[in-house]
Amino acid sequence: MPELASFPWLTFSIMFPVGMSFLIPFVPDKGDGKTIRWYALVVGLIDFIVLVWAYVSGYDPNQGGLQLQERYSWVPQLGLNWSVAADGLSMPLILLTGFISTLAILASWPVSLKPRLFYFLMLAMYGGQIGVFAVQDMLLFFLMWELELIPVYLLLSIWGGKKRQYAATKFILYTAGGSLFILVAGLAMAFYGGTPTFDMTALAAKNYPLTFQLLAYAGFLIAYGVKLPIFPLHTWLPDAHGEATAPVHMLLAGILLKMGGYALLRFNAGMLPEAHVFFGPVLVVLGIVNIIYAALTSFAQRNLKRKIAYSSISHMGFVLIGMASFTQLGTSGAMLQMISHGLIGASLFFLVGATYDRTHTLILDEMGGVGQKMRRIFAMFTTCSLASLALPGMSGFVAELMVFVGFATSDAYTTPFKIVAVLLMAVGVILTPIYLLSMLREIFFGSENQALVAHEELVDAEPREVFIIACLLVPIIGIGFYPKLVTQTYDATIDRLVSPLRDKLPALAITDAPKYARLAPPLPKS
């Protein structure tokens, strides 16, 4: 229908939750937050339905370019436009944002402290996170990037644990410090050569010299590396996760980390291709460090939240390696890993929160045998942990396999480099089931901790909690058995992204590249 085709879907999906959050003070409530939480959930559901409808009715997965475009002049004196659109890089993450955010609101049901402020912040973050993935103006992107800082800071500092002030302050210092690099590099690109412009398409079309690209790339890598996070810019994440509540966990693991990976693909790989070729080996090394270092650190953690937090850092290493593979398969795997981890990370952290609500401890040594009375939680925790360790039939397996094969068959690196890198990646894959299965054993198996049982009522999962995990497991298992369900959404865009990157590569590094022509078309000889 023509009227639906012209409807501003993305603008609505950004503005609707933000606008409705400002009406929360006027929603009648008895003070217990019951009416407010239903209000926030309905707003979240409406926005998610709008996003799904926009995808079904207005998005064509076979087109690799921008779709659902909307552009309005905002501050013409600065050349600032309200410009939003979606392509294969952003559309899956926009849908993921709506899905996870709505479930996070449902996961917030037990919140009773300052419910109006809590749900106001949740809805404000909802719109801001969609904005990060949808905007196509560099200055507007920076504003959206900054918008989510204040809600996360307040959600950590007010509803967090005992060290919440420290964790919140560390989060905002790291993220705000990294944002300065976005501003400086973005302004440099905008004002380079000719008329200043903040339009991302125009910025990508500019011909920057290599030295300029390398400096801008390094700035973006620091900024987005904080959010991904990349070693050694990762230390804020375990502290933030260690003090956050379950719904904030879901937003951090499910959405915020994906902002860093998305921005690296959009800006570093998409706008600075020559610098991306130069930094490719660096990204591979950083990815391997992330995988192994975080896996070993996770294994040593005795705090349940910090253990899962370091697990998230380890899994993000595969994103770096995939985007540095310079193959369609590897880059597609990096994209799928972000989506997969968004679902798996959100489910694990929600279950950590559910377990803490019953045991009131996060120390593994104080648990043991709780699976005897919490059988549904045990079953859900085990299933989600198996998904995290990349069990075949789950989304994590497909994503990591695509990264492995995409990198191993890449013709951008020498064979010895690839052999060493793949072996080190395999070490991380081996470590993951070790620390996850040992975690399950310490929480659920063995004899009950009598001191814990005497003071805490270990009730099993309630229907709301089972429903949330079921909603997350459906796409996790669905992608595991039929990955095309997601990959077809962004395949055309990945092709458009990888092709110019391969044009910038030097001559073939290996001689057997034609053997893998289907995975990565051979490079032209220089």
The string of DSSP letters for 269-325 reads IHH-HHHHHHHHHHHHHHHHHHHHHHHHHHHH--BHHHHHHHHHHHHHHHHHHHHTS
What is the C-alpha separation between 281 and 185, in angstroms, rounded? 22
Query: Per-residue confidence at 5, pLDDT binned at 50, 70, 90?
Result: low
What's the pLDDT tens digit per position in 497-510? 998 888 888 743 43
Angle at 433 between CA 392 and CA 309, to 5 degrees: 110
> Cβ neighbours of residue 114 under 8 Å, at least 6 residues apart?
158
What pLDDT, on a 0 to 100 scale, did the predictor assign at position 4? Answer: 61
The pair of structure tokens assigned to 134 is 């949808």
What is the C-alpha separation between 88 and 487, in angstroms, rounded? 9
What's the pLDDT tens digit per position in 189-219? 999 887 788 899 999 988 899 999 999 999 9
What pLDDT, on a 0 to 100 scale, did the predictor assign at position 507? Answer: 44
- Asked if the model's pLDDT at residue 517 lies above 90, the reply is no
H or E element: which one contains 262? helix 257-263
First vs last Cα of the chain: how many Å apart? 50
Residue 507: Cβ-neighbour burial (10 angstroms; 0-12, 13-18, 19+): exposed
- What global pTM score does this model have? 0.92
The pair of structure tokens assigned to 306 is 């910090």
3-state secondary structure of 19: helix
What pLDDT, on a 0 to 100 scale, did the predictor assign at position 514? Answer: 37
- Asked if the model's pLDDT at residue 525 lies above 60, the reply is no
Q: Are 93 and 266 in contact (CB under 8 A)?
A: no
Angle at 224 between CA 221 and CA 226, to 5 degrees: 105
Answer left, alpha or beta for residue 74, where phi above 0 means left and psi between -120 and 50 means alpha. Answer: alpha
What pLDDT, on a 0 to 100 scale, did the predictor assign at position 49? Answer: 96
What is the C-alpha separation between 112 and 255, in angstroms, rounded? 24
Q: Please choose, from the candidates 311, 313, 380, 387, the residue with its C-alpha nearest in 3D space to the C-alpha of residue 350.
A: 380
What is the C-alpha separation between 137 and 266, in angstroms, rounded? 12
The pair of structure tokens assigned to 35 is 């009416």
Q: Could you tell me which residue, 221 or 516, shows the higher pLDDT?
A: 221
Q: Please choose, from the candidates 335, 311, 314, 339, the residue with its C-alpha nearest in 3D space to the C-alpha of residue 323.
A: 335
What's the pLDDT tens digit per position in 257-313? 999 999 999 999 999 999 999 999 999 999 999 999 999 999 899 999 999 999 999
What pLDDT, on a 0 to 100 scale, did the predictor assign at position 3? Answer: 54
3-state secondary structure of 194: coil
- Asked if the model's pLDDT at residue 65 lies above 80, the reply is yes
Q: What percent of the chain has pLDDT over 70?
A: 95
What's the pLDDT tens digit per position in 395-416? 999 999 999 999 999 988 989 9
Torsion of CA 416, 418, 423, 426, to 10 degrees: 180
What's the pLDDT tens digit per position in 21-43? 999 999 887 777 789 999 999 99
> Cβ neighbours of residue 407 under 8 Å, at least 6 residues apart?
284, 321, 322, 324, 325, 327, 330, 418, 421, 422, 425
**Identity (one letter) of the amino acid at 249?**
H
What is the C-alpha separation between 128 and 146, in angstroms, rounded? 9
What pLDDT, on a 0 to 100 scale, did the predictor assign at position 458? Answer: 82
